[in-house]
Chain A
Amino acid sequence: MNIRRHIFAVAATAMLSTGAYAADIKLGVSGPFTGGSASMGVSMRDGVRLAAKEINAAGGINGNKIVLVERDDEAKNERGVQIAQELINNEKVVATLGYINTGVALASQRFYQDAKIPVMNNVATGSILTKQFPNAPENYVFRNAAPDNIQAPLIAKEAVEKRGLKKIAILADSTNYGQLGREDLEKALKGYGLTPVAVEKFNIGDVDMTSQLLKAKNAGAEVILTYAIGPELAQIANGMAKLGWKKPMIGSWTLSMASFIDTAGKNGNGATMPQTYIQSPSTTAKRKAFQEAYLKEFKPKNNNIASPVSAAQGYDSVYLLAAAIKQANSTEGPKIVAALQDLKTPVDGVVITYNKPFTATDHEAIKAKDVVMGVVENGRVEFLNAEDAKPKKK
């Protein structure tokens, strides 16, 4: 045992020293590249790859190249935990980007927190993600995606304020994501003094939504608010068409998933959701450059990015981290965190220009004002309000 430990120690020192010699900056990437959430995971990964390639082509971070260590967590909590330990202990990553699924993030982040290695959540939206360790002296969890406690009020605002709909049904799946989101939605509705007339649940893989929709219909719902992912959202849209009961569908950003848009077809038209980024030719120069580079590099089907939000946020997450590593001039976790919390130079991202995005107490880069409403139109997500399509004044 002793000898083995000794050999291990020698090997580890050897690995560490060669690592330092080559001066590669290893970044972990964890997300589902197969499975029901794969369209989000793969788009995120491609966004990350694109940004890393650009940074390396421009000379890297202070002369050091970024090396990505990508792992498929299959949207499974236990895989996420294994990967976190592997990336920390074997790969010795400097930081990890990713997490599509709130559940996987919640299960895996504690390892990074304990190892003092920063995590940049670029897609997962569960509100508590960045507040998972309230008692820790330092928080290693950051996020550049719109959290649920921003999305839910926007969904409620769209239904209640903009459209004047008061009788509301909530349909959410039975996962962590769906049920945490449902709580946020109910809280947001309470702000308007409203209680939903129906709150219904379904499981992943359910093929028939008739009873849920009938209950909503029977309760006189005027609008359906959703918190679920693509395939089941498509079953809701198709089920409404079957019942001949067409009500607006407003829900979390997952209504922009390819698996919803493609499988719901024309029944999905009009579905409205908050978005941080919409693939559209007429926005800022940075967005245009990003779109062209992405389409050229990965050639997605019909030139539609499978999940544009994930791609853009994945891309930005690399630049945010790179800026912090550059400023810290170090790859030690605590120093990167200190730099992230006090970024001196603005980062020109695809979603927004990040001007001091994080502070010691606020690890959320995206604020409510950075989120716009999107609507599904003929197989694509478009801007709901035309004025959002124009470049914003800084």
Chain B
Amino acid sequence: MSLQSSISHYSDQIKQAVIDKQLLQIAGNQSKVPIYEDAQILSIADHTGIVSYDPAELVVTVKAGTRLADLSAALAENNQMLGFEPPEYGDSTIGGTYACALTGPSRPFRGGLRDFVLGTQLIDGQGREMRFGGKMLKNVAGYDVSRMLCGSKGSLALVTELSFKVLPLQEEKTYCIPMPEGEAILLMNKMQGTSLPLTGCAYFEGRFYYRVAGEHPAQDNRVEVSICTNDIWKTLNPFQPQLAPDEKLWRLDVESTNPSIENTIAVGMGGTRRWVASKNKPNHPYVTLWQSRFAPRNNDKPCVQRIKKGLKEVFDPHHIFKDL
């Protein structure tokens, strides 16, 4: 199917759903979509491939159903990579990753997924094809809809194409030091204030890990420091720990200097992410239940709820896509 014909095929499906009043569940490779009995799956998993990629522009444009692994491999051939280090759950799509705003350990240093999004092509809830943003590193014409939709989880529009800024692949080394959690949190914050070219800081199972890119001074300023493999970043991203039967995994977003939180099993992203294993929801403003079917946080203040509802009406006035 040509690019244009497959796009209009999606748009026809959406227009038909409006007529039939049929709820649509947008899905990539369905690693995580909640199943609604009354919803029909609108899968974009077949819409794959790189639309354009010129390494010298530092920009790639890709269809939303493309697997992360395929995209990363194509970039690696040109010594480039996605700067936001998305978690790879097996066959995650780039569209699903974008819709869930998923980002890896380099976030505090290079930025999160939304920081690399330059433009999107999408189909709204009326079946209208549109484009926002562009394929350039700089564009401030109109509201930044492409970034706004990061994290929209298929609730406002079907994203069919995405443009990202890409970065050169860099050689990275990981070091680790055994120490207690509280000390590690303090140290990782202190280190992030120095000119050491860090790209990762985490705490896991009694050790502080940090990753450094490119040329940097020898890390022999502490006796306990040792070099380890880069595998730890894969262990933490995606983080899929073994839990006791009655425990749940919670993802907390906090300030980097937040002191240790009870039941934390890993600290990631330079201290800004804490993974907590516990039966009950930790008492904290930014907590997400991290399970095989994702649960929305839903703790917005009324004025933010009003804005989100309003935006839903703008993009999806017939409520064809499931709610956020």
* Chain B binds chain A: no
